[in-house]
């Protein structure tokens, strides 16, 4: 199918009560590896660019690269703006050809979030661009957060219902207990599944899980061997992730797993081949490791095995 609107992908996975992987990329190698792996598996994918990636590689340059790669596939691939913070970056993303955008105004009070999100929807709708928003707080780590503080960060299902009706967004990222980065949990990893189910019931739109990298043991073990130092890193177990998908999540974001896999592959190659001065060889090894983690996540998320 090639390059498509994100709405088409989410409509299909929501119909099947499964989820699609949404993968953050930063350059040719990360994008190419993910897109080619998904195409080989016959599974759709959402490719994401954050504002940081846009600053690093150039929004228009990266968008053209990703769209070109997507147009050569036999599966649906879309391009999504991840955590856009302003109307200006959203407008730029539309001009660059993005399939969808996320306006992240979750740091604002509810009314401020609603107002900015509604304005973004009004900008995107005429262009046919799909809109994601966020409710609740998805932090950088769960460490040292008390139960009462954690509850304050979680999405309010009643607010979610009002928010969706008032803004007209296409999909929503509700905060249900995950966090970004490599240090998501201290102790047992748990998600607010009951709250997720209530949000799904009240909104009836595709839902998104941020901070969903799993950091499987084999990846952390190999990363440590390669010299990467992230002691105490803990991701979202596949069992919890699958539970979230079965209860309403349709888009699963992945960033940290991609970063660690790419760097592990490159470091292993470079340390094992000190005589090689061709960076492409290290990049290719990193791409193989990305392919490995994407294949595993697609099997756990999309196929729900």
**CB of 68 within 8 A of CB of 34?**
no
Tokens 């970056």 identify what position?
89
The residues facing 188 across adjacent strands are none
* Catalytic machinery residues: 82
- What distance in Å separates the CA atoms of residue 290 and residue 267, rounded to the nearest whole number? 13
Token pair, residue 3, equals 């390059």
Greatest Cα pair distance, the chain, in angstroms, is 61
DSSP string covering 213-224: ----HHHHHHHH
**CB of 258 within 8 A of CB of 34?**
yes
- What distance in Å separates the CA atoms of residue 40 and residue 78, rounded to the nearest whole number? 16
């Amino acid at each position: 199918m090639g390059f498509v609107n994100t709405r088409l992908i989410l409509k299909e996975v929501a119909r099947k009560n499964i989820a699609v992987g949404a993968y953050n990329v930063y350059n040719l190698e990360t994008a190419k590896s993910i897109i080619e792996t998904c195409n080989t598996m016959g599974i759709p994918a959402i490719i994401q660019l954050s504002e940081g990636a846009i600053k690093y590689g150039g929004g228009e340059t990266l968008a053209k690269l990703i769209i070109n790669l997507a147009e050569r596939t036999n599966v649906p691939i879309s391009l999504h703006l991840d955590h856009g913070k302003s109307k200006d970056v959203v407008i730029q993303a539309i001009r660059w050809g993005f399939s969808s955008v996320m306006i992240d105004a979750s740091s604002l009070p509810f009314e401020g979030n609603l107002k900015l999100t509604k304005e973004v929807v009004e900008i995107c709708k005429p262009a046919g661009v799909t809109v994601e928003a966020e409710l609740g707080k998805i932090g950088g780590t769960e460490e040292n957060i008390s139960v009462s503080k954690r509850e304050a960060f979680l999405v309010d299902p009643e607010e979610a219902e009002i928010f969706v009706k008032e803004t007209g967004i296409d999909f929503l990222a509700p905060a249900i207990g995950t966090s970004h980065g490599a240090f998501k949990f201290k102790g047992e990893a748990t998600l607010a599944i009951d709250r997720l189910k209530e949000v799904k019931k009240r909104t009836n739109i595709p839902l998104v899980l941020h901070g969903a990298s799993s950091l499987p043991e084999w990846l952390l073990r190999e990363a440590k061997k390669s010299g990467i130092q992230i002691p105490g890193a803990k991701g979202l177990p596949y069992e919890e992730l699958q539970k979230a998908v079965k209860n309403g999540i349709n888009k699963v974001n992945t960033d940290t797993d991609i970063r660690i896999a790419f760097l592990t592959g490159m470091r292993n190659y470079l340390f094992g081949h000190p005589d090689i001065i061709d960076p492409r060889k290290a990049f290719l090894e990193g791409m193989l490791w990305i392919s490995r983690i994407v294949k595993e996540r697609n099997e756990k998320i999309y196929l729900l095995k």
